[in-house]
Amino acid sequence: MKINGSVALVTGGNRGIGEQFVKALLDAGAAKVYAAARDPRQVTVPGAVPLRLDITDPESVRAAVEQAQDVALLVNNAGISTGAGVLDGDFADFQREFDTHVFGTLAVTRAFAPVLARSGGGGVLNVLSALSWFAIPASGAYAAAKSAEWSLTNSLRVALAEQGTQVTALHVGYVDTDLTAGITAPKADRVDVVRTALAGFEAGMHEVLADDTSRQVKSGLSAAPETLYPRVAARTS
């Protein structure tokens, strides 16, 4: 699918990677880019079309679809990171992670699938994470939700193939945004990540690994669990 001349919608388009997607899509020649956010007043990218959307609210999703009947490319970017672990943290935060990354992504994609079909098939680009494949106890809720979103993305790819909709997954480690401001680990530049993602999407790639972290983690998936998690092996042997 070509971006030039297309109409795109980016969830969470008011900040971070989402805002960069909005900028890059406009720079790539998209005819229109809806920047969706809970509060559309926070959308500041010149040329973007602010759109109110809370992906966890079914009525908000329905209203957004009614207003954006010309979308050909859906970028499911909206996300949160509560910091909830599997054994600690508020259980409600764990649920919020799934409500956003899994059920929110599914709700928006289901709702826009007929719109994409009328556009000739169009495409979906889901922003995932290297943590789709690797668990960190301190981010247990986020990793679990992203892993589920990865599986969801694979299912959507198969289900939407019949109507000619391309589904691409973006995987990346930490990205330099306000969401990771308190993290001292190396971070990828959001401009580079989005550029790589859109290039891969236009090339028809099903998965885009945007940095060394995602490539290294993906390459280790065939290894035994004790190889990926040596601390576990040391304490259970």
State what percent of residues in the chain have pLDDT above 70: 92
pLDDT at position 186: 67
Q: Does 1 map to a domain?
A: no
Within a domain: 50? yes
Model confidence at 227, pLDDT cuts 50, 70, 90, reads: confident
Is position 226 within any domain?
yes
Looking at the structure of the chain, the number of domains it has is 1
Give the pLDDT band (50/70/90) at residue 195.
Answer: very high
Domain ranges, residue 48? 7-236
2 found inside a domain: no
The pTM score is 0.93
**Does the pLDDT at position 65 exceed 90?**
yes
- Is 20 a member of any domain? yes
Which of 175 and 46 is assigned the larger pLDDT? 46
Cα 18 to Cα 194: distance, rounded to the nearest angstrom: 9
Domain CATH number, residue 46? 3.40.50.720
Confidence of residue 140 (pLDDT cuts 50, 70, 90): very high
Give residue 226's pLDDT band: very low, low, confident or very high (50, 70, 90).
confident
